[in-house]
Amino acid sequence: MSTVKADDPRLYWGGIASLEQGPNWVKPWRIPHGDQDLYSPGVSDLAGRAETASGVRLRFATDATECTLHTEPLAEDGNFDLYANGNLVATVDFVAGQTATPFADLPSGEKEVEIWLSQAMPIPVRAIELPEGSRLERSEDNRLKWVTYGSSITHCRTAGSPSFTWPGVVARGKNFNLTSFGFGGQCHADPMMARLIRDRPADFISVKIGINIYGGASLGPRAFRPAVIGTIATIRDGHPETPFAVCSPIWGHDRETTPNAVGLTLQQMRVEVREAVESFRQRGDANIYYVDGLKLFGEELAHLLPDNLHPNAEGYRRMGENFLKEVFEVQGITVG
- Which one-letter DSSP state was computed for residue 208? E
CB atoms within 10 A of CB 223: 14
pLDDT per residue as tens, the chain (336 positions): 899 999 999 999 999 999 999 999 999 999 999 998 898 876 558 888 999 999 999 999 999 999 999 999 999 999 999 999 999 999 999 999 999 999 999 999 999 999 999 999 999 999 999 999 999 999 999 999 999 999 999 999 999 999 999 999 999 999 999 999 999 999 999 999 999 999 999 999 999 999 999 999 999 999 999 999 999 999 999 999 999 999 999 999 999 999 999 999 999 999 999 999 999 999 999 999 999 999 999 999 999 999 999 999 999 999 999 999 999 999 999 999
Cα angle value 236/181/4 (rounded, 5°): 120
**Which residues lie below 8 Å from residue 336, measured CB to CB, with a gap of 6+?**
144, 203
Q: How far apart are CA 326 and CA 2, in angstroms?
A: 46
CB contact at 8 A, 125 and 27: yes
Question: Which of these, 65, 73, 86, lies nearest to 130 by C-alpha position?
Answer: 65
**Which residues lie below 8 Å from residue 8, measured CB to CB, with a gap of 6+?**
none
Q: How far apart are CA 198 and CA 193, in angstroms?
A: 8
Question: Which domains are present in the chain?
Answer: 2-137 (2.60.120.260), 145-330 (3.40.50.1110)
